[in-house]
Amino acid sequence: MKRVLTYGTYDLLHYGHIRLLKRAKELGDYLIVAVSSDEFNAGKGKKAYHNYETRKEMLEAVRYVDLVIPESTWDQKIQDVKDYHVDVVVMGGDWEGDPRFECLRDYCDVVYLDRTPGVSTSQIKEELNLGNDDIDDLFTH
Ligand code: C2G
């Protein structure tokens, strides 16, 4: 059984996330997703719209995902690879070459997949973050 591991915040789950998870699962038989805890996100300067439990619940409903675990620190990855007998760690291309993933090559394969263009959690937040006036405008034309 080939075991795949990926990391992320996965806030406001969107098709870019889903396409990453689909392609990650295609690289093996069992996909583990390590989802950033709320505390870890705070450390990344990110505040997710959904809390950890909700983001975990949504990912567990995705057909490609077999297990969801917490990502609490930057330096848990080597231990995760060992604990879960991971064969390949997969990340989106925005992480390509990052030493926090490259260091895993001593323990498993590391694969970067192209990001899905045109969608991101921050873009969704920006576009939905309309003021009341904007919304009124939307409905008067
Ligand atoms: N992603 C993608 N296409 C998008 C948006 C995101 O392929 N349009 C991928 C990212 O490259 C990442 C995964 O989906 O592999 C999750 O994205 P985020 O939730 O933004 O994760 P990130 O904030 O990059 O956290 O330790 C690593 C961090 O936890 C990664």
The tens-digit pLDDT sequence of the chain (141 residues) is: 999 999 999 999 999 999 999 999 999 999 999 999 999 999 988 899 999 999 999 999 999 999 999 999 999 999 999 999 999 999 999 999 999 999 999 999 999 999 999 999 999 999 988 544 555 565 544
C-alpha of residue 131 to centroid of ligand 1, in Å: 28
Q: What domains lie within the chain, and their CATH numbers?
A: 3-116 (3.40.50.620)
β-sheet with 109-113: strand ranges across: 67-71, 30-36, 3-8, 88-92, 109-113
Q: Which residues line ligand 1 (CB under 6 A)?
A: 7-10, 16-17, 20, 36, 71, 91-92, 94, 115-116, 119-120
Distances in Å between the Cα of 21 and the Cα atoms of 12, 24, 64 are 15, 5, 6
Q: Whose CA is nearest to atom 25 of ligand 1?
A: 8
pTM, full prediction: 0.91
Separation of CA 140 and ligand 1 centre (Å): 37
